[in-house]
Structure 1
Amino acid sequence: MTAQNHVPSVLSRTGAVSALTLAALAGTLLAPGAAPAAQAAGPAHATKALNVAASKKGSPYKYGAAGPSRFDCSGLTLYAYKKAGKNLPRTAQQQYNRTRHISASTLQKGDLVFFHSGGRVYHVGVYAGSNRIWHAPKAGSVVKLERIWTKKVLYGRVR
């Protein structure tokens, strides 16, 4: 092999490696089946709201309460997002009306999960991933992480 033939080959390989390295550093290179970084993590305010909701684990449920130590469902989401720098209205229905409605395929950690029946939203929780939410379920219970128990849910992203 002559030097002339060898140099383009090396440059070609180096160029390909450099492009792959740059793509990986820029976050555009994904393993098959991996979620894009934005889909996995969500916006910073959503991540913070999720962490705030999780930090309230064990806080007692109280109808109409919005923290800092007792919560109802929409009070927990209101409190969590307020700590993350976002304002939400008070009730689950109002929160649903205020969020950007999204599909299950675009759901990210920190998005809100709304439970509905008969055309009205009656419950809300903060999506934690793996089909689970942080929520304040009902009287006599506490803030907890729980699996989503029904398919009658809608999703919203706080803007």
Structure 2
Amino acid sequence: MTALNRVPSLLTRAGTASALTLAAVGGGIVVPGAASDAAAAATTGTRALQVAASKKGAPYQWGATGPRRFDCSGLTLYSFKRAGKTLPRTAAAQYNQTRHVSADNRRSGDLVFFHSGQYVYHVGIYAGKGRIWHSPKTGDVVRLQKIWTQSVWYGRVV
């Protein structure tokens, strides 16, 4: 039975319950064509963020793209691939492929690009509250860390 076929029976069983209540208890309602690009990006970003967090403690290795070792762009590439999106290999190429957003419009799941002038040298996934999941450097591991500089740009994978 598809989600669309279940909607009438869920609504019948729920009586006057709202669609939000149904969603809260696990009876999601699917309306074809209703998902906006922003909602789809949020879902993809959220999934990628969860994948990155699941790799907590994985060692940094230059050039590694997972599943057990990562460099910074390898972690973002791996995380978004598992969420259903393809990214290029390097941080700079990933920056060029994202929709750029301001710090005021950033949200969890967006990519955070660290730069010096026009040179992008590091990338992580924004986790909210000024923190990112990333694979920092040789001798370190995938971890959640506070953003340590204002020299960052934000990009949304769409």
- Alignment partner of 1:62: what SS? coil
- 2:89 maps to 90
After superposition, give the CA deviation of every residue in 1:56-79 in whole Å (9 maximum; x if it has no partner). Answer: 000000000000000000000000
Structure 2: stretches of 5+ with no match in the other structure: 1-17, 22-37
**Amino acid in structure 1 at the alignment position of 2:66:** G
Q: Distance in 2 between matches of 1:66 and 1:100?
A: 23
In 1, Cα distance between the equivalents of 2:156 and 2:42? 10
Query: 1:56 maps to which residue?
Result: 55
The aligned counterpart of 1:104 is 103
Structure 1 residues 1-159: aligned runs within 5 Å: 43-159=42-158
Q: Which amino acid aligns with 2:46?
A: T
4+ long deviations beyond 3 Å: none
TM-score by length of 2: 0.75
**By how many angstroms is 1:143 displaced?**
0.2
| SS in structure 2 of the partner of residue 126 of structure 1 | strand
Secondary structure at the counterpart of residue 54 of structure 1: helix
TM-aligned CA deviation for residue 119 of structure 1:
1.2
- For residues 149 and 53 of structure 1, the distance between their equivalents in structure 2, rounded to whole angstroms, comes to 19
**2:147 is matched by which residue type in structure 1?**
I
Is the radius of gyration larger for structure 1 or structure 2?
1
Offset, 1:118: 2.8
Looking at structure 2, the residues matched to 103 and 78 of structure 1 have their Cα atoms a distance apart, in angstroms, of: 22
Aligned residues: 125
> C-alpha root-mean-square deviation of aligned residues, in Å?
2.2
Q: Distance in 2 between matches of 1:87 and 1:144?
A: 22
Return the alpha-carbon distance in structure 2 between the equivalents of residues 152 and 133 of structure 1. Answer: 14
> Using the alignment, how far apart are the partners of 1:51 and 1:102 within structure 2?
21
